[in-house]
C-alpha cells in the first residue's frame, strides 16, 4: 500500500487522518479507519463498529504501525471494500460519520509520520562521505568501515511534501540531501542478515543542512546540531510505501532536481552499509518502536556541497526514488542575518 497522513481543513479547525492511495485510482485517498468502520458495520454487522475500528485500525500512522501486519491486512481489505462500494455508487459512504474517500487535491498531504518518535540518520554511502571529507583534504577514517555511523535528528523538524523550507537566519549555505527513509516495526537485537524483516516500508527523505554551521560543529568533534536541526529541516514523503510494493529496496534509482535541472543521480545499490545492517545496528541492545524512522544517509553526489553548489530562495527541490514517488519542497526567503 501507499500510505499517507492527510489533513482535512474544516471551519476554524483541522483533522489529521491516515489513508491509502489505491494503485488503480492514484488521485484518490481512502480514509482507512472510516473504511474499516464501514466494513465492520455493513459487511460484518458488528455492534460498536466505530469503537472497534478505532482499536483495530487507528487514524494515526504510528497507531497503524503498532498494529503490525494485522493492521496492514485490515487496511488492504478496507481499501478493497471502499472501492467496491464506490463502483456500486453507494452514497452511504459519505454520511454523518465522515467521508471515506477524498480527492488528493481536496486535502493537504503531511509527512507520513508528522512527528516521529525518533529519527536515526546514518551515513551508509561511501561515495558521499568520501566526497564530503575530500573538500577539506581528509579521507574516510577506518572506523567508518567498522560500524554504520549515525546521528539523531530532532523529530520536531519534520515537514511534508509541498511545504516551504524555512531558511535559518544563521546560515549562508543551505543544502539538500537525497536519502531514503526506513520505517520499522517493534524490534530489538535483530539477527544478522534479518534486519529487513523488521522493516514496514520506505519513503523519500530530504535532510536539509546548514553547511557552514555543520562544518564548525563537527570540527569540534561533536554534532551535527544546528547544522541539521532547525524547523523544517527534515522533509519526508510523499507517502510511505509498504515493503511488499517496493521490490528490491537495494536497487532503486535516486534522482535530485533543482528547478527542473538534475543535480544528482544514484541508486540504493551503492549503499556500503545495507538496510539489513542499519536495522541490526540500530536495534543492538535497544528497542526500536513503531514511529522510529531510519535514514540511509546521502547517496554519493546527492547534495549540493559535493558540487560546490548551494540552494537559493524560491528554489524548487525535487527528490525522486524509484517506486516511492517525488518529494517536492520550496526554499523560503533568506531572513535578516543569514545573507
Per residue in 58-103, pLDDT tens? 999 999 999 999 999 999 999 999 999 988 876 555 554 579 999 9
Rounded mean pLDDT, 256-279 = 98
The grid coordinates of residue 310 equal 548551494
Domain at 118-331: CATH code: 3.90.850.10
Q: pLDDT above 70 covers what percent of the chain?
A: 96
Alpha carbon 188 to its chain's center = 22
Domain with CATH 2.30.30.230 in the chain: 2-109
Instruction: Determine if the peptide bond prior to 140 is cis (ω within 30°).
Output: no
Judge whether residue 339 has pLDDT over 90.
no
pTM (two decimals): 0.95
- Interatomic CA distance for residues 133 and 183, integer angstroms: 29
- Interatomic CA distance for residues 125 and 330, integer angstroms: 26
pLDDT on residue 338? 55
pLDDT on residue 90? 65
Domain with CATH 3.90.850.10 in the chain: 118-331
Judge whether residue 228 has pLDDT over 70.
yes
SS3 call for 202 = strand
Superfamily of domain 2-109: Fumarylacetoacetase, N-terminal domain (2.30.30.230)
Name every residue whose Cβ is closer than 8 Å to that of residue 106 and which is 6 or more positions away in sequence.
none
Instruction: Determine if the peptide bond prior to 22 is cis (ω within 30°).
Output: no
pLDDT averaged over the chain? Answer: 94
- Interatomic CA distance for residues 159 and 229, integer angstroms: 13
Name every residue whose Cβ is closer than 8 Å to that of residue 28 and which is 6 or more positions away in sequence.
21, 22, 101, 102, 103, 104
- Interatomic CA distance for residues 201 and 3, integer angstroms: 9
Q: pLDDT above 90 covers what percent of the chain?
A: 88
Per-residue DSSP letters for 113-150? SSS-SEEEEE---HHHHHHHHHTTT----GGGGTS--E
Rounded mean pLDDT, 275-279 = 98
Comparing CA positions, the residue from 1, 73, 83, 72 lying closest to residue 35 is 83
Helix (H) or strand (E) holding 236: strand 234-242
Amino acid at each position: 500500500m501507499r500510505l499517507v497522513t492527510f489533513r482535512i481543513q474544516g471551519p476554524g479547525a483541522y483533522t489529521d487522518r491516515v489513508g491509502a492511495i489505491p494503485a488503480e485510482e492514484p488521485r484518490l485517498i481512502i480514509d482507512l479507519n472510516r473504511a474499516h468502520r464501514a466494513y465492520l458495520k455493513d459487511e460484518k454487522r458488528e455492534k460498536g463498529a466505530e469503537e472497534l475500528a478505532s482499536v483495530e485500525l487507528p487514524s494515526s500512522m504510528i497507531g497503524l504501525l503498532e498494529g503490525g501486519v494485522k493492521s496492514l491486512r485490515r487496511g488492504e481489505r478496507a481499501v478493497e471494500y471502499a472501492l467496491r462500494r464506490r463502483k456500486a455508487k453507494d452514497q452511504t459512504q459519505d454520511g454523518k460519520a465522515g467521508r471515506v474517500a477524498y480527492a488528493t487535491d481536496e486535502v493537504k498531504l503531511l509527512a507520513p509520520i508528522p512527528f516521529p518518535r525518533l529519527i536515526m540518520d546514518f551515513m551508509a554511502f561511501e561515495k558521499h562521505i568520501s566526497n564530503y571529507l575530500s573538500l577539506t583534504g581528509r579521507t574516510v577514517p577506518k572506523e567508518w568501515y567498522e560500524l554504520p555511523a549515525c546521528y539523531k535528528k530532532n523529530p520536531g523538524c519534520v515537514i511534508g511534501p509541498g511545504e516551504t523550507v524555512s531558511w535559518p537566519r544563521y546560515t549562508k549555505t543551505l543544502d539538500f540531501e537525497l536519502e531514503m527513509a526506513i520505517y520499522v516495526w517493534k524490534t530489538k537485537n535483530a539477527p544478522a542478515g534479518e534486519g529487513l524483516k523488521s522493516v514496514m516500508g520506505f519513503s523519500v527523505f530530504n535532510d536539509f543542512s546548514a553547511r557552514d554551521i555543520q562544518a564548525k560543529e563537527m570540527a569540534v568533534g561533536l554534532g551535527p546540531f544546528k547544522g541539521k536541526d532547525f524547523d523544517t529541516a527534515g522533509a519526508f514523503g510523499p507517502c510511505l510505501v509498504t515493503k511488499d510494493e517496493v521490490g528490491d529496496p537495494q536497487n532503486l534509482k535516486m534522482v535530485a532536481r533543482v528547478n527542473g535541472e538534475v543535480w544528482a543521480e544514484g541508486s540504493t545499490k551503492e549503499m556500503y552499509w545495507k538496510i539489513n545492517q542499519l536495522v541490526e545496528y540500530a536495534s543492538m541492545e535497544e528497542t526500536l518502536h513503531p514511529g522510529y524512522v531510519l535514514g540511509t544517509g546521502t547517496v554519493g553526489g546527492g547534495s549540493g556541497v559535493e558540487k560546490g553548489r548551494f540552494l537559493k530562495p524560491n528554489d524548487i527541490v525535487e527528490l525522486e526514488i524509484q517506486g516511492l514517488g517525488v518529494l517536492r519542497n520550496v526554499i523560503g526567503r533568506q531572513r535578516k542575518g543569514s545573507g
